[in-house]
Amino acid sequence: MFGVTILGNNSALPAYDRHPTAQIVTIGDQLILIDCGEGTQTQLAKYKIRRSKINHILISHLHGDHYFGLPGLITSMGLLGRQNDLHLYAPAALENIIQLQLKAGSTDLPFQLHFHALENFENILIDDPKFSVKLFPVEHRIPCWGFIIKEKRMPRKINKEAVIAYHIPAAYYEALQKGEDYTNKEGTVIANELLTNPNKPAKSYAYCADTRYTPENAIVCEGASLLYHETTYLQNCEHKALVRYHSTTIQAATFAAKAQVKKLIIGHFSSKYEQLEEFLKETQPIFPNTDLAIEGVTYLV
Amino acid sequence: MFGVTILGNNSALPAYDRHPTAQIVTIGDQLILIDCGEGTQTQLAKYKIRRSKINHILISHLHGDHYFGLPGLITSMGLLGRQNDLHLYAPAALENIIQLQLKAGSTDLPFQLHFHALENFENILIDDPKFSVKLFPVEHRIPCWGFIIKEKRMPRKINKEAVIAYHIPAAYYEALQKGEDYTNKEGTVIANELLTNPNKPAKSYAYCADTRYTPENAIVCEGASLLYHETTYLQNCEHKALVRYHSTTIQAATFAAKAQVKKLIIGHFSSKYEQLEEFLKETQPIFPNTDLAIEGVTYLV
């Protein structure tokens, strides 16, 4: 499974039972938490997501609605006896804040917390056997990063009948799965395409964090299976979006179209909007395959 | 009105829709927030308590379940355009944590935040015309303080018939209300008791924070109209309470009886308990006028 579960879809202030930003990305047996607004640990419990399965946490920037839930989540993990290492990827200034909070509470975590400052990475943030996480800068009032989580290319599938017919030794199957051709004792090259079939294409999720409309970033997110782009405001607040370093519906949809992604989800709604239908109405004419990021819903990548 | 509204009654971990510690004390037209666990701003909204009315926040100690909601509350107050000064009374180490968080987010609050380190006070923390707040150390794993909020003595009530009969000039009424006698032109002293009647006695609320059973503190809370004492555990966990610097039902009730308070409310329940009836069953035989501190309920002082 590769999917994104929304835990919070509201901007700065919690309102209308909508919460500040947090998302869980499930990729295989791994859970990655992206941003961690206040109350994230309660949202995880509400949607029965096991926090013990979270090994990586990515924090896009240090506005409170994206990380004020983190100290509580970390200390709760400790109280619950977590032992697995936890990797936290965030702007450098967060390390000192967390350490001061742990020190003030005389808290010794029973697990290793590894801090990775986003400033130290240029492209690849995580290189796991099954997926990679890349980061890219977005344009916000303070330093802020987006993330792209991508499956590793799936191995090609062995064509069982073909490998028997061509007398390929089983020891060579792994090389075939990687796409290599086979050369037999007689020196004849048998093309990989004759021996294997392509697997499903690798999918990717692009998370654009809090950002002004930045068309230059469309190339970074190009072809993503799923794109999350913030829409703090409706179209008629374009000027407000500009000065507050946020985006509108139209801008998110235009970005998605430019990046030629398969699907778009939108969120980070301003607390001034109680109803959200208008967000879809403005976005879909430009990018039809758009959904609202609704809390508790999992969107498949 | 002098009352205490419970916003969170659970210990360290949120559970069973119970939240970490936070209480609002309403005294006249003032709201005082005591402790501010994660999610306090949401609880304030849920119970329709106007955060703009809060001018004083008291933080008992720096375990996260007593202050992780504070950065969110403060920044939300800023986003909502608060202009009134806000006074924060807390252990000294919190000042740097809050300042780092504001700096990391490039947040300029539109109001003055005055930080008062509890370590700098010996007895009186706040001396308002209508009430006082005293602090006292309690016994916890890290430095921790309890608070006593007390009304100022109410002025005596003028006995209208008596002041006319004794020809007391109106300019002297204020002195009478303060309890002074009146001496007339002939040099005769007219006792205050003849001219005024006593007002209602001043009430007080004692908040014992997170604490081991500390009978020596009973004298500090003596005669309080309302006492909050933590009961993290039932009686059979007395040893656990001791080593974790918390209290049991029996200990809270014994403390209340020793302090001869009028009424006791108990809270800070461990997340191991889903049902709370047993807490009352164990407490009331020793101190009958006990209530559970239930979220959303206001207990009159």
Mean of all residue pLDDT scores within chain B: 96
Q: Is A138 helix (H, G, I), strand (E, B) or coil?
A: strand
What is the per-residue pLDDT across B101-120, written as a single tens digit (0 to 9) for each?
999 999 999 999 999 999 99
A75 pLDDT tier (thresholds 50, 70, 90): very high
- Say whether A68 and B64 touch across the interface (CB within 8 A): no
Segments making up each domain of chain A, as ranges: 2-154+200-300, 157-197
Residue of B55, B68, B62, B71 lying closest to B126 (CA atoms): B55
Q: Which two tokens stand for residue A223?
A: 């072809």
Residue B171, number of CB atoms within 10 A of its CB? 7
Say whether B65 is catalytic. Answer: yes
Residue of B283, B244, B243, B248 lying closest to B263 (CA atoms): B283
pLDDT at position B67 over 90:
yes
pLDDT at position B12 over 90:
no
What is the per-residue pLDDT across B112-167, written as a single tens digit (0 to 9) for each?
999 999 999 999 999 999 999 999 999 999 999 999 999 998 889 999 999 999 99
Interface mutation vs chain B, best among A13, A21, A38, A98, most B CBs within 10 Å: A38
Give phi and psi for A210, each to the nearest 5: -95, 120
pLDDT at position A158 over 90:
yes
Determine the residue type at A270: S
Residue of B270, B66, B161, B72 lying closest to A8 (CA atoms): B72
What is the per-residue pLDDT across A76-101, written as a single tens digit (0 to 9) for each?
999 999 999 999 999 999 999 999 99
Determine the residue type at B299: Y
Q: Between vectors from CA A7 to CA B296 and to CA B46, what angle results, nearest 5°?
A: 15
E strand segments, A64-192: 86-90, 113-117, 124-127, 131-138, 144-151, 157-158, 182-183, 189-190
Residue A153 has what DSSP assignment? P
Q: With pLDDT > 70 as the criterion, what percentage of chain A qualifies?
A: 100
Q: Tell how far CA A80 is from the center of its chain.
A: 26
CB A253 within 8 A of CB A265: no
CB A182 within 8 A of CB A190: yes
For the beta sheet containing B113-117, the strands, ordered from the edge strand earlier in sequence to the opposite edge, are B113-117, B86-90, B54-58, B30-36, B22-27, B2-8, B298-300
Q: Is A281 helix (H, G, I), strand (E, B) or coil?
A: helix
The distance of B13 to chain A (nearest Cα, Å) reads 6
The pLDDT value given to residue B108:
96
Q: Tell how far CA A207 is from the center of its chain.
A: 5
What is the per-residue pLDDT across B211-235, written as a single tens digit (0 to 9) for each?
999 999 999 999 999 999 999 999 9
At which residue do the structure tokens 């961690």 appear?
A36
Q: Which CATH superfamily is domain A2-154+200-300 in?
A: Ribonuclease Z/Hydroxyacylglutathione hydrolase-like (3.60.15.10)
Q: Which of B42, B75, B142 sits opposite A106 (nearest CB)?
A: B142
pLDDT at position A153 over 90:
no
Q: Which two tokens stand for residue B240?
A: 């656990």
Q: Average pLDDT for residues A205-217, to the nearest whole number?
A: 97
Residue A115, number of CB atoms within 10 A of its CB? 15
Q: Average pLDDT for residues B71-88, to the nearest whole number?
A: 97
Residue A190, number of CB atoms within 10 A of its CB? 18
Q: Of A141-145, A200-204, B3-7, B77-81, where does mean pLDDT reach its minimum?
A: A200-204
pLDDT at position A154 over 90:
no
Give the CA distances from residue B5 to residues A152, B13, B24, B226, B227, in Å, rounded to whole numbers and listed in that order. Answer: 53, 20, 5, 12, 13
The distance of A145 to chain B (nearest Cα, Å) reads 14
Which chain B residues contact residue A15 at CB under 8 A? 45
B97 pLDDT tier (thresholds 50, 70, 90): very high
Which chain A residues contact residue B100 at CB under 8 A? 93, 96-97, 100
The ipTM assigned to this model is 0.89
Pairs of CB atoms within 8 A across A/B:
91
How far is B6 from B193, CA to CA, in rounded Å? 40
The distance of B168 to chain A (nearest Cα, Å) reads 58
pLDDT at position B15 over 90:
no
Residue of B208, B67, B66 lying closest to B137 (CA atoms): B208
Interface mutation vs chain B, best among A101, A108, A240, most B CBs within 10 Å: A101
Residue B293 has what DSSP assignment? -
Which chain A residues contact residue B12 at CB under 8 A? 75-76, 79
Q: Which of B29, B35, B65, B291 is catalytic?
A: B65
* Strand pairing report for A157-158 and A124-127: unpaired
What is the per-residue pLDDT across B183-221, written as a single tens digit (0 to 9) for each?
999 999 999 999 999 998 899 999 999 999 999 999 999
Residue of B5, B54, B4, B7 lying closest to B204 (CA atoms): B4
Mark out chain A residues that contact chain B at CB-CB < 8 A: 12-15, 38-39, 41-42, 45, 62-65, 68-69, 71-72, 75-76, 79-80, 91, 93-94, 96-97, 100-101, 103-107, 141-142
CB B35 within 8 A of CB B21: yes
What is the per-residue pLDDT across B274-293, written as a single tens digit (0 to 9) for each?
999 999 999 999 999 999 99
Residue A75 has what DSSP assignment? H
Give the CA distances from residue B141 to residues A103, B11, B138, B146, B229, in Å, rounded to whole numbers and listed in that order. Answer: 13, 14, 10, 14, 17
Helix (H) or strand (E) holding A99: helix A93-104
Residue B15 has what DSSP assignment? B
Q: Which two tokens stand for residue A139?
A: 């344009």
Q: Is B79 helix (H, G, I), strand (E, B) or coil?
A: helix
How far is A289 from B173, CA to CA, in rounded Å? 77
At which residue do the structure tokens 């654009």 appear?
A208
The pLDDT value given to residue A13:
84
Please tell us whether the domain made up of B2-153+203-300 is placed in CATH 3.40.50.620: no
Give the CA distances from residue B191 to residues B161, B166, B170, B182, in Å, rounded to whole numbers and listed in that order. Answer: 15, 11, 16, 7
For the beta sheet containing B290-292, the strands, ordered from the edge strand earlier in sequence to the opposite edge, are B124-127, B131-138, B144-151, B204-207, B226-230, B264-267, B290-292
What is the per-residue pLDDT across A257-275, written as a single tens digit (0 to 9) for each?
999 999 999 999 999 999 9
CB A108 within 8 A of CB A75: no
Return the sign of the alpha-carbon dihedral for residues B66, B69, B75, B80. Answer: negative
How far is A43 from A49, CA to CA, in rounded Å? 9
Helix (H) or strand (E) holding A237: none
pLDDT at position A102 over 90:
yes
CB B50 within 8 A of CB B81: no
How far is B166 from A238, CA to CA, in rounded Å? 75
CB B301 within 8 A of CB B205: yes
Binding residues of B: 61, 63, 65-66, 140, 210, 268
Residue A164 has what DSSP assignment? H
Q: Average pLDDT for residues B76-98, to the nearest whole number?
A: 97
Determine the residue type at B18: R
pLDDT at position A155 over 90:
no
The radius of gyration of chain B's CA atoms, rounded to the nearest angstrom, is: 22
Determine the residue type at B247: S
The pLDDT value given to residue A98:
98
